[in-house]
Amino acid sequence: MSNQTAVPAQDFPNAPSGWTLAKANDSADALGIVMGPDHWDIIICLQEYFSRNTTINRRELNDALDEFFHQQGGLKELYRLFPGGPIAQGCEIAGLELPAGTVDKSFGSTL
């Protein structure tokens, strides 16, 4: 499966060093996610959140994503877009380090 992106690189001002759209699409492909505009909005949101916060709290990040995506359906829609978890899969695609506890199997993560 190959992801097509219509999102120009300049739309990612907070991307981590070395991150590219090609790497993001490769990560999405490996996760079985076909990237669309809503997916890219979450990637931009995650990159911005990480650029503004020196300490990442998974619960606060989860709440921030829910609030950011509230109009589109909140967490329910985020899990539809990223079935393995919007933080886990979103951070992987965004080139960000996973917050502690994100892939802890005891919390139901699917990664």
1 domain residue, yes or no: no
17 domain residue, yes or no: no
Residues 6+ apart with CB under 8 A from 39: 28, 33, 81, 82, 93
47 domain residue, yes or no: yes
Under the banding of pLDDT at 50, 70 and 90, the label for residue 7 is low
Which pTM value belongs to this model? Answer: 0.83
Q: What is the mean pLDDT of residues 26-46?
A: 95
Give residue-wise pLDDT tens across range 43-88. 999 999 999 988 898 899 999 999 999 999 999 999 999 999 999 9
18 domain residue, yes or no: no
Extract the tokens encoding 90: 């979103």
41 domain residue, yes or no: yes
Per-residue pLDDT, 77: 94
For residues 94 and 19, the answer to whether their CB atoms sit within 8 Å is: yes
105 domain residue, yes or no: no
83 domain residue, yes or no: yes
68 domain residue, yes or no: yes
Q: Where in the sequence is the domain holding 61, given as residue range(s)?
A: 37-97
Q: What is the mean pLDDT of residues 27-41?
A: 95
Give how many domains the chain has, as a whole number.
Answer: 1
